[in-house]
Structure 1
Amino acid sequence: MSAFEYLLLMGACVLITLPLELFFRARVYRRWRTVLWALVPVIVVFCLWDVVAIARDHWVYNPRFVTGIHLGNLPLEELVFFIVIPLCALLSYEAVGTVLTAVRKRRTGGGDER
């Protein structure tokens, strides 16, 4: 296993959810201020949580599986995880909302025509 596989996995998560922005009009990337308001608290809380847990030896990261780039004692991969996964969740949530709205419109539109 390469030290970059985890980062590649995070990249794959972004690439896999990118079509949700393009084809389902999730409009997450277009609303970057809203995204920042959603992501920053998550990033801050969980980074602090991890920094404390690492400092207290509650958990460790195997150096074979991380790049070795750290922000303090926090591996880069962990920070990337705290950005990518909530972003992918927002994309999924907004895409599902778009699809459900379209289904509701079809149902109400179809019901009026009878």
Structure 2
Amino acid sequence: MQSYTYLIIDLCCISIPFIASFYPKHAFYKEWKPFFLANIIVGFFFLVWDADFTLNGIWGFNPDYVIGLNIFNLPIEEVLFFVSIPYACVFTYFSLKYLVQNNPLVTFQKIISILFILILLLVGIMSLDKWYTSITSLITAVYLIFQVIRKRDLSYQYLSYLIVLPFFFVSNGILTGSFLESPIVWYNDAENLGIRLFTIPVEDIFYGMLLIFLNIDLYEFFKSKFLNN
């Protein structure tokens, strides 16, 4: 069973959102077309990024916790990660848009974005010798700058990510070694700040945020296209 550990984590992350997607009064399965179109595009970008970092030893995977089926140099479980996590998070966003009519973060979302931009630019520029830190920080900063220029309201994205963060700490904590003899995903600390939240590199917070926000953005883009046709 040990070799199925990563696969089980993927399935646990997506199982409840998948089942809840068929709730008759507000069914997310009807949104699958815009979601999966978005997910394919964002997933491809992240898989190329992931494969390159794996090839260059910035991170890697413990063969004891995967079934041994690879796509290029990535375990199939890692590929599924980029479907299961976005699915769960976009489902959360979809649900919150329906359940939360008055988002408490609306007033502060621009300030949050600007603070993140300043911090990420500073960290990214000061850490150019650390690939994971610099690339994650700078790409996320550029993304947020673009959203601020567009005057895009990110309040529901921030709220959704805040809601899923406890689950992120559990799932990503296990992946990075919590409750296990060794991590499923290991990191080369020469390429990051070496700051851990429990066992999770702090960079994962913004890597995950970028992954989710891009999925939500493209999901909303394709959804609007289908509604207008």
| Length-normalised TM-score, structure 2 | 0.41
* Per-residue CA distance 1:40-90 (angstroms, 9 max, x = gap): 122101100111111112111111011111001011111000011001111
Give the equivalent residue in structure 1 for 2:50: 50
Partner of 1:64: 64
Deviation at 1:25, TM superposition (A): 4.7
Distance 1:85 1:24, change over 3 A: farther
Tell me the equivalent position of 2:98.
98
Whole-Å separation in 1 of the counterparts to 2:23 and 2:99: 11
Report 1:1-114 matches (<5 A): 2-23=2-23, 25-101=25-101
Distance of 2:33 and 2:45 partners within structure 1 = 19
Say if 1:98 and 1:25 are closer, same or farther in 2 by CA, change over 3 A: farther
CA distance in 2: counterparts of 1:93 and 1:26, whole angstroms: 13
**2-side partners of 1:91 and 1:26: how far apart?**
11
On the 8 A contact 1:26/1:94 being kept in 2, the answer is no
**Cα distance in 2 between the residues matched to 1:7 and 1:39:** 19
**With CA pairs under 8 Å and 6+ residues apart, which has the higher RCO, 1 or 2?**
1
Once the two structures are aligned, what percentage of the paired residues are identical?
26
Root-mean-square deviation over aligned CA pairs: 2.3
Amino acid at match of 2:61: Y
8 Å CA contact retained: 1:20, 1:26 = no
Deviations along 1:16-48, one digit per CA (max 9) or x if unpaired, are: 223542448553322222012220122101100
Gap runs ≥5 in structure 2: 103-229
What's the CA shift string for 1:84-108, capped at 9, x where partnerless?
A: 100111111111111124x8xxxxx
Verify the 8 A CA contact 1:43 1:83 in the aligned structure 2: yes
Partners of 2:92 and 2:25 in 1: CA distance: 11
Residue identity opposite 1:66 in structure 2: V
Larger Rg: 1
C-alpha change, 1:9 and 1:85, in structure 2 (3 Å) is same
Read off the aligned partner of 1:6 and give its amino acid letter.
Y
